[in-house]
Structure 1
Amino acid sequence: MTRWRLALRSGAAASMFWACAGTQVSLRSDVQASEASAERIESWRTEVFELESRRIRGVDVRAFERARSWLDRLEGEDEPEVRALLVAAITGELDVMRTAEKRYGTSDPIGAPHAESLGEEDSP
């Protein structure tokens, strides 16, 4: 009977150890995922800023504002489903901006289809 109790105790201790180790691993992976998320968000912010600073012709400035607001919401969001939707939205906006950059270049946006929304006035 003593052997059974000892086996149960050591089994319980072993399962507790592995449960704690598993929790540590999952916490560690959560932290790594969080750090990777922060790096990804920062790279998106940089990309949005660079695209905006080049003032791509044909892209409505609201696309930049939407991407920026989604980035802000993403930083504070904990729900994985909502994060996934926000990531998809940001990726979509960046794809639209990249496509416009390829199509219209980075020259002066005056005369572009959305020049008014970029805040530029028509030249005299």
Structure 2
Amino acid sequence: MSQNNYGGSGNINVGGNYHQDNRSYRQNIDNRGGMYAGRDMVVQLPPGLLRDLDHLDAVLGSLRLTDQERSAATAALGQVRQAAGQDQQATGGHLQRFTRVLVNAGAVAQAGTSLTDAITRIAQWLGPVGAAVLALL
């Protein structure tokens, strides 16, 4: 039985100086504005996501919370920022914890759409993982 090699070398040459070796490189681009790349690529978060995280930090400082609530919310938001772009599942879990702390403290009603709009945009960026967060709002 003969074995045919239809795959070629795995290399793609696209005009000019661009060369891609598919044997050791993987790149996925999705429609949420993020780029998830393998190997030596650097992942850059969408600027809107960073603005929303900064906004949540600012809003968090103006909310009437107990020390324990503020500490828990601050820690969860810091973990959202740390995990964003690296692990969607973890990011979603931290955002859910952040949101739950604020909902239980009554801070979501206190802050209004300023808070919920930013949380909603981040949850939508997360896709299906963010659905649990949206359910809390």
Short-chain TM bin: 0.3 to 0.5
Which structure's residues are more often helix, by fraction? Answer: 1
Q: Which has the higher contact order (CA 8 A, sep 6+)?
A: 1
Scaled by the length of structure 1, the TM-score of the pair is 0.46
Scaled by the length of structure 2, the TM-score of the pair is 0.43
Which structure has the larger Rg?
Answer: 1
Which structure's residues are more often strand, by fraction? Answer: 2
